[in-house]
Every structure is written in C-alpha cells, then in structure tokens.
Chains A and B, each alone.
Chain A
Amino acid sequence: MTTSKAKNTTVKFNGIQTSRRSFIKNISLAGAGLVVGLPLTACVNASLPNNNKSALTPNALLQITNDNIINFYLPRSEMGQGTYTGLTTIVAEELDVHPSKINVLNAPVHDDYKNIEYGFQVTGGSNSIRTHFVPLRHLAANARLVIRQAAAQQLNLSLADVQTDNGNIIVNRKSLPYGEFVDRAKQLDFPEQAALKDKSQFKYMGKKSPRLDGLSKSTGTAQFGIDVDFEGLHRAALKRCPVLGGKVKSFDDSAVKSMPGVKSVVEIHNGVAVIADYYYQAKNALVNLKVEWDLPEILAAFNSDSTASDNGKALFKTALDSDESSNAYEQGGGFGALKNAEKVIEAEYWAPYLAHATMEPMNCTAKLTGEHLELWVGSQAPDLAKLTGAYYADIPKDNVTVNSTFLGGGFGRRTSSDFVAEAAAIAKASGFSVQLVWSREDDMKNDFYRPASMVKFSVGLNNEGLIDSWVVKRAGPQIMPYTLDDVVDSIMPGFLPKGLVDGLSKVGYSLYSSLLVDHASVEGLYEDYDVPHKSSDHVTVDPGLPVGPWRSVGHSYSGFFKESMMDEIASLKNQDAVEFRLKHLKNNPKLANTLSVAAEKAGWNKPLPSGHFHGVASHKSFSSFVTQIAEVSVTNNQLHIHNVVCVVDCGLAVNPDIVKAQMESGIIYGLSAALHGEITLKQGEVQQSNFHDYPALRINESPNIEVVIIESDDAPTGVGEPGLPPIAAAVANGIFAATGKRLRSLPLKLRG
C-alpha cells in the first residue's frame, strides 16, 4: 500500500497465506462516519466558504448575489458521470432558472459538503443524484420562495401575484432579476417548507439538454489537476518499489543530480522523488536513479498469470474449497436446503485483478508555505485528501486548502489519496512547490486494483425445474481494510500513540478476516431472484496487492458470475433464458420489466442474421435495474459484438441524455474488462504497464448500443455504475449460444 505505514505480516490461515492488515481503522471510521443530513441552512459552527456578506446565502451550496449571480457550490466531484450537470439541473428546476445561468463552482472542503450516506466528502457509489434529489429541491424551492416573498414586499403585491421564470420575478409582464430582491430576502426568515414542483411542471428535469461542462471539455479549457500551473512550480517524478508496499533500503542519486533541470532528490515514505524544472526532465532522471528495496515478503512471493502453473488461482481455489468462511447472508434453510433439491448444479467462476486506467494519470500539486499547505487535485474525496496532505506535510489539518479540479476519470481510483500523500511528502521533504505526475506505467503498477475473485455456486432445483436453493461462496481480498488503511493515518486522532494503533490493528484485522464481511465482497451474488433458500459466504484470501473500489465494486464481478450461472441453469434445463429468469422475478417487478422490454426491443427469439446469437443478463445495482442483450457472432474463434440493447430503470431520469451516456459508458468500460482486462503478477510485480498490455476498448471494437430508459415517477437512482455489471455475462451467454462454450473466467478467451 503506497501511503500507509500498515504492517503486512504473514499469518497462516488454514493453509492459506493471508496478509494481516491494519484494522483499528474500522472503529475510527465508523465513529467518524455518522450519517448527517444535508444542512438546509447555514451550519452555525463552521464558516461558509462562500462568504459574500451582501449575498443571499442560505447554506454552503447556494448563493445569489445582489448583482444577480447564482453560485452553486458543487458538493460532488465531476469525473465524467455528469453530476456537474445533474445536480445543477435539480437546483435550477426548483429555483426556476435555466441550468446554464447557474455558475457552478467546485466546492472546497467543508463539513456541509459531506456525502450524507458516508459522512465524508466523497463521490462514489452512484449516489450523487439519488441522495441530493430531495434536499437540493427543497433548498432551491425555499430560496425561490424567499425571493418571491421579498419581491412581494418590495413591490407591494400579494405573493400570488409574484411569479418567476428563468431567474426573474415576473410582474405585469416585466422581468426583474432575482438579484434585485436579495437585500430584502436576506432580512426575511429563510423558509423551510416551500412546496416542490409537480413533475408536470418540470421545465428542465427529465428533458434532454446539453451537458454544462461540454463547452470547456470540447475546447481544451476545462482544468484538470495536471493542468494546474503557476510561477515557481516544479515537477516531480517518483520511483516506487516494483512490488507494492516495498520500502527504500538505500539509494544512489550520483548520476541524477547533474542531469538537466534536476533540482533535488528526496526520499519519502514509499520511494525516491526527483524534482526538476519540467516533468520530462524529472521522468528521464528516474532512469539513472538507483534504489535498493526492502520487498514485502508475501506479495513478492505471489505469482498469478492465469496459466497452469499459476499459484495465484490455486490460493483462491484452496480458500474456496476450505471449510473456512464467514456467512454474509442466509435466508430460509440456507445451505442446508440443498439436500432437499431434486438436482444440484455446481460451477466455479473467476475474475482477475483489474486496474482502473483513468485517462488522466494520477497527479497532485502541492505548495507548502511555512505551516500552510495548498493542494490542487482532482479527487473523489477532497476532505480525505486534505487530511492526508496535513499528515504527510506534518501540519495541522486546518492549515490545508484543497482546490478541486475536474477529474480525468475516476471509476473509484480517485477515492484514494495515495498520490496526495506523495505530493505533500515531496513538498515537505524538498521545500519546493511540486506537481507530482504519474507516468502511465506508474498508474498501471500502483493502483488499488479491483480484487480478483473466485466463486462457487451450488444451485438446487425443485421437481418443477425452479430454483429452490442458491448457495454461493466467494473467495478473494476484501476492499474495506485497504480503504481504511489509505485514510487511517490521517484520520486517527494525533494523540494516539503509534504502537497502540498497530496493536489494535492486528486485533481488528483478524476480526475482519474471520468474522466481518465487507458487503462489497458479496454484493450482487444472491439478491435478485426469488429463491426460497439462499446462503452467501465469503472467505478472505489476500496476497497483499492493494485493492479498491472499481466501477460498480463487487457488482463488477458478481454481475458476471450470477448472470452466467442463471444462463447455465436455464440451458441445462432447456429453458429459454428470458423466460427462466422471469419465472424467478415475480418479487422483483422492476428488473422483470427491464428484461421484458429488452427482449422486445432486441427481438429475442426472432430470427437474427446468420451466425448471430443473443445473450442476456439482468442485474440490480446501486438501486437501479438494468437488462442488457448482446448480439454476437463467433467466426474462427473471433468474437464480434454487433449490438447491445440496454434497458434501465433508474427512477426519474434528471437528464436522460446523461443516463444514456452512462449506460454506454458502463457497457464500454465493462467490455474493456470483459474482453481484455487482466492484471497479472510475477513475484509480486504487476506485469502490465501501459495500453499495449492492458488494452482499453477502442472505437472500432465498440458495438452499436441502444439504450431504453423506463419512464418512471419514482425518485432517481444510480446510473454511473449500474450499466456495467450485466455486460460481461450478456456477451459470455451470447458466446455460449454461438459456440456451446461456457466461459467461466474473465477476460473471455475463446482460445485456450
């Protein structure tokens, strides 16, 4: 783990080597992670960042100035998912102003911007629109009401005579901008109960309108972290241990210091950094820097290349076959019900480690002036970036300012603050203002990877051919201990002695590995279908490669596992894959509906072009329901994906075009993984380094995608992630239809 000082000691765990990870963190995180509601009015004990005394500022999110500027402080990070447009549209609707007239600013770090479900200022879990939909509407509706009340007073009219349109008070067909009433509105009590609009009154929500960040992103003017520049800024490149978690034993920089542009060479917690005038100078200098490493024992002994001699898969298999496990879910008779089954079908599935490979490599800019640290970073967790920066620059946390930029892709990678830790540490050690830029190779080899996973299904059928019991066990690393490791040093109270923390960590970790199941480990493996008896178990096996949330987290593999298994059962019973699913979706009408609509749209069971076959998969994740049907052909072992029909029920689509884009995005990101994605290790070192050996889907491989959004009056649910989980299974099931080959491992390989 790149940022932490966590211990990585070996324990023998039922014959399986596992790494013992610090775990006190769970306790501290839970303590700090109380759910707090989005404050609708100013938080009294924390000064607002938007501190314009003459403006109407009901809380940290919204501000209307008397010169008629409407500022919305975007509390979530824009990483492509569209929250910049979506949240602004929600505010715009109830404030009654066109979204493009709202000035969107990236929120600074402040308690009032915390994600209400996590207690941190974190963007993830596809929850931005879902959690902000109601609070932002109330905020904006109340703001509109107070402006109307002020206008009524100022113009001596009844409230009913004061209407609004597009940021103006409308009186006698005259338009008066909201700003003219701000001074008066400030003197009124801010309302709390303004009525919300009915769906029939919506002007902006549910309508197609261009993204608000489209212009800057189509002209090269959007600012990403890597674009930050100022007088006196130096660039840094960092040499890290080839095996993650290794430490510097010694280094020799004699061939580096005289190289062009090189200003300084410093050792930090996880490597040796070169600071130069320009990035390519710093990067070039790393070649001549000699470092001896202390390797982490367990990971350095780990190989996983998916070949016959692969000890990586064998470790997972041993864990899966062991009696050790923790129960994550049980229903009805659970595992015991299998013995009553007419027939039991078993199968094992595998999914490898994956890198995120965001287009913008990790980077962070740090300027340390005395006891004050200023950071510029695209982060999914700017408050954790702030705490991390404070810890590594060794200054009080209140002395850190975080400037958030657009994120050149997130997908979960930028929830971690390892690159912030490095930048702060380099600034501290060198005395220079630095922009740390990771090369693509750094990025590929120093990720928090999607955990590899192996599962075994045992599915019992009754005498009517329906599923009676669903038993699934998953073996693999758990994400939570790593997430906690990443933040623990910075969020632990400073007065706790280090030794105590480490001691408690060990107790905590064994609890975690043997008792606690991170729900992300098993999510999506068992929930969707009507089955009387269910059981889901987890067993931790972890060689110590850092893992983290990767777009759709556990669903990224469970969607493939569960939906491939359903297909297996249906085909073994000679049942139609759609009909068979529908028989088990009586209690899941929304998923059933997406399936029926998709079957209709795709022409399921209708004739296809010669050699073309359909594969189907349905999966609920992040409160949204998605079915995908892939049309594929296989010729001479070459897979071609022609079309994908995707039907999503995500409640009200605040911006349908962005919902469509996110479905396409999830499918394409998921196809990169399904067809190409695999991180392998040799003696603990990640073997992939760039897009030649970790390919991303390109435009010529991208299928036609048709997205259907189910009309809904329900509140909006997630879209950033739910488009991904079904696609690998839809394709694999299509391959089975085409070839009779059941591919139970990702990536999907037709040969070998």
Chain B
Amino acid sequence: MISFVLNDQTVQVSAAPDTPLLWVIRDHLKLKGSKFGCGMGLCGACSMLVDGESTRTCVLPLAAVAGRNVTTIEGIGNPDMLSTLQSAWVENSVPQCGYCQSGQLVSATALLSKNSNPSDEEIDNAMSGNICRCGTYPKIKNAIKQAAMDLKNGDGRLQAVAYFDPATLNSEV
C-alpha cells in the first residue's frame, strides 16, 4: 500500500510499487486528463507536478511518489474554475487535437511558479520536453506570456482548484 497526496487529498493505492504513476492515476484512480504518449519520458503528455516539478510520470514508479505531492491537470483547474494559464489557453485557442495540452499546461504551470516573467528562451527551455504534433508552439508561447502578464497584474492564479474526485476520496483503490 503506497500513500501520496493527489490534488490535495491523501490517497492510498495497492498497485504494484513499480507501476508507472501515469497508469495508477489513469486506470486505478480514473483521472483521465493526463495522457499516455510514449512510455519513455520523451513527449511530456503524461506530465504531472511532483512537489511542484513537471515530471514525466509514464516512467516514474508509484513507489517514487510515496509521501509526495502530485498535481494533475484536474488539480490545476476545471471548466468552472480555470487557472490563469488555462484561461489564456482558452482565449488564445491554443489546443488543436488537444491531446498533449494537459502536459503542456503542467509544464507551463511549473515554469510560471518559478519564473514570473520568462523570456522566449526560458519558455523554450521549460517547454521543450513537451511535444505537440499539431504544432501549437506559437500559441503556447503567446498564452504563457499573456498569463505571466495577468499574474503580474495580480489578477491571476496558477492553481484554481484543489480538486479531487470525491468518489475515490480516502478510499483504497
């Protein structure tokens, strides 16, 4: 039994300790926002915040997050309560197919949590682990800059919710 904090709620999971965190979240805990893209930590579709760092969870064993804080896209915001980055994503129509965007938003959230005013180069460095086959990069850049501006003006939030599906709250999965 491994316990960690998922989107502000403590969860206990009985999956094998070497199970990649991505599959624990998707298949056991049924949060589907984080995506499977490559299984080798190459594309970033599975990115989650682990203690605030954007982390490739398709290659991260469950055992590695014991006692740690994990935030998925569902813990950043939801359709009723958007984070500032998510609002910028919607306003700028960033997504195309949309499959990589949870991971993009997680990496962008990690970036702005450490750097409130990133340059183009700093955005490139922080976001280069996240592949988008639709090529939404120009819009991602614009949206990050817009969100950084909104956050600087004080009317923004990096995390809008501390959401977790109540159906699985504190239950063993």
Contacts and interface: CB of A to CB of B under 8 A. Distances in A.
Interface of A: 79-82, 210-211, 213-224, 226-227, 229, 235, 260, 278-280, 357-361, 406-411, 437, 439-441, 657-658, 661, 664-669, 672, 690-692, 696-700, 702, 704-705
Nearest to A669: B135
B40 A440 contact: yes
Given A220-B102, A691-B40, 14 more contacts: A82-B96, A210-B93, A214-B89, A358-B133, A359-B97, A408-B99, A440-B39, A661-B136, A665-B96, A692-B42, A699-B130, A699-B141, A700-B124, A700-B125
B101 A217 contact: yes
B165 to A, nearest CB: 12
Contacts of A219: 33, 73-74, 77-79, 82, 86
Nearest to A707: B138
Interface string B30-53: 111111111110110100000000
15 contacts: A210-B91, A217-B95, A260-B16, A280-B19, A358-B99, A409-B134, A661-B96, A664-B137, A665-B96, A667-B135, A668-B135, A690-B40, A691-B40, A700-B127, A700-B128
Could you tell me the dominant secondary structure of chain A's interface residues?
loop
Given A218-B90, A219-B82, A278-B28, A696 B133 contact: yes
Shortest Cβ-Cβ A-B pairs, 6 listed:
A220-B33, A668-B135, A217-B98, A408-B99, A80-B97, A80-B96
Contacts of B123: 699
Contacts of B93: 210-211, 214, 657-658, 661
Interface in B89-129: 89-102, 105, 123-125, 127-128
Contacts of B124: 699-700
B128 A216 contact: no
Interface of B: 15-16, 19-20, 23, 27-28, 30-40, 42-43, 45, 72-74, 77-79, 82, 86, 89-102, 105, 123-125, 127-128, 130-141
Contacts of A211: 93, 95
A224 B95 CA distance: 14
Contacts of B128: 698-700
B134 A669 contact: yes
A214 B90 contact: yes
B118 to A, nearest CB: 12
A215 B79 contact: yes
B42 A690 contact: yes
Nearest to B87: A218
Contacts of B101: 217-218, 220
A661 B131 CA distance: 16
Nearest to B89: A218
B23 A226 contact: no
Contacts of B125: 700
Nearest to A704: B138
A674 B42 CA distance: 20
A440 B77 CA distance: 29
Does more than half of chain B's interface fall in helix, strand or loop, or is it mixed?
Answer: loop
Nearest to B34: A220
Contacts of B15: 278
Given A211-B93, A220-B74, A658-B93, A409 B133 contact: yes
A229 B32 contact: yes
Contacts of A80: 95-98, 134
A340 B17 CA distance: 76
A213 B90 CA distance: 9
Contacts of A661: 93, 96, 136, 139
B22 to A, nearest CB: 9
Nearest to A706: B138
B137 A226 contact: no
A697 to B, nearest CB: 7
Contacts of A667: 135
Nearest to B80: A219
B44 to A, nearest CB: 9
A79 B99 CA distance: 10
Contacts of B72: 220
A220 B82 CA distance: 12
Contacts of B28: 278
Nearest to A700: B124
Contacts of B27: 229, 235, 278-280
A443 B90 CA distance: 30
Nearest to A222: B98
A213 B19 CA distance: 32
A218 B94 contact: yes
B135 A214 contact: no
Given A214-B89, A439-B39, A668 B78 contact: no
Contacts of A411: 133
Nearest to B19: A280
Given A280-B19, A409-B134, A702-B135, A691 B97 contact: no
Contacts of A665: 96, 134-136
A547 B82 CA distance: 42
A702 B124 CA distance: 9
Given A81-B96, A219-B86, A220-B73, A226 B134 contact: no
Contact of B37 (A81, A440, A441): A440
Given A227-B32, A361-B37, A700-B128, A279 B23 contact: yes
